[in-house]
A = this chain, B = another copy of it.
């Protein structure tokens, strides 16, 4: 699978070297194009897993993500182009049968996306992020990852970034999850549904605390 033919998977790189971290207190203005930055936002999700032979499991997660959001090509809400890369992601959940579950970014793929402009001044923008993660479920003896993107999307983005917006979902169908120790084997679980919401900015201390957690 020669890398030079495909380029990095997935998406487009955001140069984060000249972007500053945004934390709690950052003002967000609706229907307005925002200069580039690195957003540290609280995040929650409800994921449904199907594990063959075991059943279906719905799990609520809470955590954060740190997203490099490139400079917009224009300041016009109907024509801008903005690329994003997820730099870090940590989510924690618990299920009565599966035990504690943690989600972290997969460093071997690029979690990348784009915000698309709205069709009119007071309409919503649209967002897609192809996301690659590890799901660790130590009590269930599973540490799994996705080879195809978990496509986080939101077709009604009212601000950049979309803070306090519970309307995200992943566009997926029986997304196969592979055992990290047997990546060439067949899927050992499936992600069958994911809904998420980006919450508001967190403090720098909260972000650093998430970054230290495993």
Contacts and interface: CB of A to CB of B under 8 A. Distances in A.
Interface of A: 1-13, 83, 108-109, 114, 116, 126, 128, 130, 145, 147-149, 151, 153, 155, 171-174, 176, 178, 180, 182-187
A114 B174 contact: yes
A1 B108 contact: yes
A176 B83 CA distance: 12
- The main secondary structure of chain A at its interface with chain B is loop
Contact of A173 (B7, B83, B151): B151
Question: How many copies of this chain sit in the oligomeric assembly?
Answer: 2
A192 to B, nearest CB: 11
A148 B147 contact: no
A184 B128 CA distance: 19
Contacts of A185: 7, 12
A174 B116 contact: yes
A52 to B, nearest CB: 8
